[in-house]
Structure 1
Amino acid sequence: MRPWVLGIGLAIVLLSCKEEKDRSISINKILVIGNSITIHPPDPSIGRNGNWGMAASEADQDYFSLLKDNLQSYFPDLEMIRENVYPFEREFETIDFEQYSHLREFEADVIIIRLGENNIDAELSNWNLAESIQDFAFYLGTTNTKFIITTTFWPSPNVNEQLRHVASQNHWEFVDISAFGSNPANMAIGQFEDNAVASHPNDQGMLAISKALSTKILAIEL
């Protein structure tokens, strides 16, 4: 047999194995917990009228919606929900998790932890944020839940150190999106009068986040 024929045959076998592996992955429910980048209610005082991820141009252009649309092409029956857990960021050492019992009842197969921008460096000591995120995640998940955690969008070395630590300690999937927030082209600068809103991911930034998460999710084994 000629070498090139053997090579084509091997490539077909490997491709078939990959497709079979992809089909064997089953994800039915995904929960995303985050902050204003994930979802923010209307607030005319800061020029926001939409109820989606700040500062995407439309509801279907935030990273959650883009990610959901993409993943449903692989998992047609996928249920995907999100929640802004800003109170956890600011009160992570004292917050009562029971206020999020409705998220626990969802029984997610995958939980994406996409937060940290509202944490204050002065409140971090030892691994207190990492430990609180771990406790919160285990409260929300089941024994079979897979966890994915990202860095912050904006540069925040101390917070990201805590996020990396909790991922490492628990063998969670980790997605570094910090480079996206270092590029002004990924922010809605000039699109909003409020500078805080304008520093959020624009459509390009949202797309970058969704692609990074999608790549990681499709690579995990349940």
Structure 2
Amino acid sequence: MQQTKINSASPVTFLRIVIVFAVISACGFSDRLVSADKPQPAPAFKKILFLGNSITLHGPSKKIGWEGNWGMAASSLDRDYVHIVTDSLTKSSGNKPQTMVKNIAAFERQYATYNLKEQLQDAFAFQPDLVILAIGENVPQLKTAEEQGKFQASVEQLLKQLQKDNHPTIIVRSSFWSNKLKDEALRQACQNTGGTFVDISRLGKDEKNYARSERDFQHAGVAAHPGDQGMQAIADAILKAIQIR
């Protein structure tokens, strides 16, 4: 009968084998740790819908001394949060997305009666894969729980309508001019529709984030908007939320 001889390794050889495997395993584990610590690239979005108010987009108005056609009161188009976010996502993904930017201040002021299908038909038809909702500043003061509930329900309806024909990533930020009741309604509406809520309430507490800290304005309302620093801070908060979601 043919026999196979198995040679037993000496203690020294066995120890060397154990050390080699330990080193290999450690290297592999280290690689995994380094990989986990590396910042993950932002998703490559094809269509981004920005829905907001004057902080998002405001055309020229001689009445208030505003000459821009971008987010009030950034010093130039490329310094408002919309363009900072878009440019950052373009650079990180290598693909420039289509964008639609809409001022929906009318929705803020008339949320209870606003006709979504008529007024935002183009936004729904756009079918974005990323929606950034930046509202709240123009919403009338919510004096009762009932009013807060109605505002929340209206925001939920808006977000659900955007999800009807598509399943976009949804980012909802709190108000720059922080308001507890409004922001809580936005948070709950965002949570109930599977979005990511971004709390920027601290930004409005820092005077350096206001445009009036950067230059003089004819109109106090314009001056009370975020300046270049404030716009950058808003964009940073949104981009962080997109990357970690």
Matched ranges for 1:206-221 at <5 A? 206-220=231-245
Shift of 1:135: 0.7
How much does 1:8 deviate?
5.3
SS of 1:191's equivalent? coil
Aligned to 1:132: 154
Pairing partner for 1:62 from 61, 80, 89: 80
Match of 2:98 in 1: 79
Q: Which runs of 4+ in 1 moved over 6 A?
A: 2-5, 17-21
> Could you state the TM-score of these two structures normalised by the residue count of structure 1?
0.89
Name the structure 2 match of 1:144: 167
- Kept in 2, the 8 Å contact 1:31–1:110? The answer is yes
What code does the residue aligned with 1:119 have? V
Match of 2:197 in 1: 174
- Render the CA deviation track for 1:109-138: whole Å, top value 9, x for unaligned: 111110000001146625111110111122
Kindly indicate whether residue 58 of structure 2 is the aligned counterpart of residue 40 of structure 1: yes
Percent of pairs identical after alignment? Answer: 32
SS for the counterpart of 1:158 is: helix
Mapping for residues 194-209 of structure 1, pairs under 5 Å: 194-209=219-234
Question: Equivalent residue for 1:12?
Answer: 31
**Are 1:193 and 2:218 counterparts?**
yes
Q: Displacement of 1:6 after TM fit? A: 5.7
Q: 2:107 matched to which residue of 1?
A: 88
Where in structure 1 are there 5+ consecutive unaligned residues? none
Over residues 9-28 of structure 1, what are the superposed CA-to-partner deviations in whole Å (9 max), with x where a residue is unaligned?
Answer: 424234446879748x4421
Cα distance, 1:32–1:4 mapped onto 2, change above 3 Å: farther
Q: CA–CA distance in 2 between the matches of 1:32 and 1:67?
A: 10
Report the CA distance between 1:183 and its aligned residue: 0.8
Structure 2 CA distance, aligned partners of 1:105 and 1:10?
Answer: 47
Q: TM-score, normalised by structure 2?
A: 0.81
Instruction: Give the aligned residue type for 2:53.
Output: N
1:112 aligned partner: 132
C-alpha deviation, 1:171, in angstroms? 2.9
Which of 30, 37, 43 in structure 1 is aligned with 2:48? 30
- Pair member with larger Rg: 2
Q: Letter of the aligned partner of 1:129 in structure 2?
A: F
Aligned-partner SS, 2:131: strand
Instruction: Write the letter of the residue equivalent to 1:81.
Output: M
Deviations 1:183-216 (A, max 9, x none): 1100011521211100100000000000111111
1:135-185 CA-partner distances (Å, limit 9, x unpaired)? 112223334122111100012111112111112222310100111111110
In structure 2, relative to structure 1, the CA distance for the partners of 1:6 and 1:201 (3 Å cut) is farther
Q: Distance in 1 between matches of 2:60 and 2:40?
A: 42
SS in 2 for 1:49: coil
- Equivalents in 1 of 2:109, 2:48: separation in Å? 24
Unaligned runs of 5+ in 2: 1-18
Q: Deviations along 1:45-90, whole A, 9 cap, x unmatched?
A: 1111110000000011000001100000123142222110011001
Contact 2:148 2:182 in 1 (8 A): no
Query: Which whole-Å CA distance do the structure 2 matches of 1:21 and 1:144 have between them?
Result: 22
